[in-house]
Amino acid sequence: MSLLVVGSVAFDAVETPFGEREKMLGGSATHFSLSASFFADVRVVGVVGGDFGGEEMGVFERHGIDTSDLERIPGGKTFFWRGRYDFDLNTAHTLDTQLNVFADFKPKLSEASRKSRLVFLGNIQPDLQREVREQVAGAELVALDTMNYWISTVPDAVIAAIRVVDIVIINDAEARQLSGEPNLIKAARKILSWGPRSLVIKRGEYGAAMFTVDSYFAIPAYPLESVFDPTGAGDTFAGGFMGYLASHEQIDEAAMRRAIIFGSVMASFNVEEFGTERVQRLTHEEINARFRDFKRMTHFEEMPFTKAVTSGK
């Protein structure tokens, strides 16, 4: 089943307490599409410069990702981000951002992309997200991601984009910032009142939660002994989530609950090494084994509590 992602394709430089990489493949659309490719056929809409070579394109090709709508500007430079993580790996410290060709990015969708069944609008300017949404009017399900920068600078545009999508996928800090509510339950209720069917909140090392108007579902994070680089974990989560949904003809709440677990599975692999290194060589057997681990971790038998009755003399 067809799945479209619109977002950034980039180069990242990252330093963590456990090592560093000076130049590695990154960007929201990259992490998303690699993750989703294990479950469904994926098409990417983005832009790169002339420095994006055969080695980088080969990563997409090996995973069967359609790059027909990946625009290439020969004389330009690809979007670049440099960041640092300290021992609190939940917080990224941005050291340098060079938008380069991404600064003038205007998503160009082919006829095939416009007919995609599921669509993920990666972290791009919210007005662009709405423009893309208008071009995929027939999509069965459209999900959106955003970030604190857009929430701080153009909150009304973020809310306008949320009103026209089915699912919002953001982290807990962004949910609180966007809604103005410190309590996550109240924050979710407010965001859902703007129109989306579901809100998926990424909680990093604490797992993930899904809210609808009348239901709530949450899972813990997968326990890991080694976490090297969280860059792209959120987009990898979204890729697993949307990729799993795209592999099903019927998308109901049961499928969405399983999709959250697969999203968490994919994110757990992503953070084990730098950038896309771990996900690039991932196998379906490893994915399914970790999914079964999740099932064992969260399974328990129902046994209502009954207070013992004692008789005295």
Query: Within a domain: residue 308?
Result: no
pTM of full prediction above 0.85? yes
Amino acid at 160: A
| pLDDT score at 299 | 83
Query: Within a domain: residue 311?
Result: no
| pLDDT score at 312 | 56
Calculated CA dihedral for residues 153, 154, 158, 160, nearest 10 degrees = 170
CB 298 within 8 A of CB 220: yes
Positive or negative: CA dihedral 187, 172, 236, 92: positive
Q: Both tokens of residue 10?
A: 């980039």
| pLDDT score at 309 | 61
Give the sheet arrangement for strand 19-26, strand by strand.
19-26, 10-16, 80-85, 92-98
DSSP 151: H
pLDDT tens over the chain, length 313 residues: 589 999 999 999 999 999 999 999 999 999 999 999 999 999 999 999 999 999 999 999 999 999 999 999 999 999 999 999 998 887 889 999 999 999 999 999 999 999 999 999 999 999 999 999 999 999 999 999 998 889 999 999 999 999 999 999 999 999 999 999 999 999 999 999 999 999 999 998 889 999 999 999 999 999 998 889 999 999 999 999 999 999 999 999 999 999 999 999 999 999 999 999 999 999 999 999 999 999 998 888 877 887 766 655 5
- CATH (domain of 139): 3.40.1190.20
Work out how many domains the chain is built from and give that number.
Answer: 1
The Cα 189–Cα 186 span in angstroms is: 5
**Helices and strands (H and E) in the chain: how many:** 12, 13
208: CB partners within 8 A, 6+ apart: 200, 201, 202, 218, 219, 221, 237, 260, 263, 264
Query: Within a domain: residue 263?
Result: yes
Query: Within a domain: residue 90?
Result: yes
Cα–Cα distances in angstroms (integers) from residue 92 to residues 26, 95, 111, 176, 201, in the given order:
15, 9, 37, 18, 18
The Cα 246–Cα 159 span in angstroms is: 25
| pLDDT score at 202 | 94
DSSP-derived 3-state class of residue 219: strand
Query: Within a domain: residue 302?
Result: no
Which backbone phi and psi does 197 adopt, to 5 degrees? Answer: -75, -35
| pLDDT score at 302 | 79
Name the residue range of residue 147's domain.
Answer: 2-297
| pLDDT score at 204 | 85
Query: Within a domain: residue 305?
Result: no
DSSP-derived 3-state class of residue 258: helix
Partners of residue 83 on adjacent β-strands = 14, 94
Query: Within a domain: residue 303?
Result: no
Query: Within a domain: residue 161?
Result: yes
The Cα 93–Cα 114 span in angstroms is: 36
Calculated CA dihedral for residues 192, 195, 198, 199, nearest 10 degrees = -50
List strand residue ranges (DSSP E) for the chain, in order. 2-6, 10-16, 19-26, 41-49, 66-73, 80-85, 92-98, 118-121, 141-144, 167-171, 198-202, 208-211, 216-219
| pLDDT score at 310 | 62
- Closest listed residue to residue 35, CA positions, set 235, 277, 296: 235
Give Rg (Cα) of the chain: 20
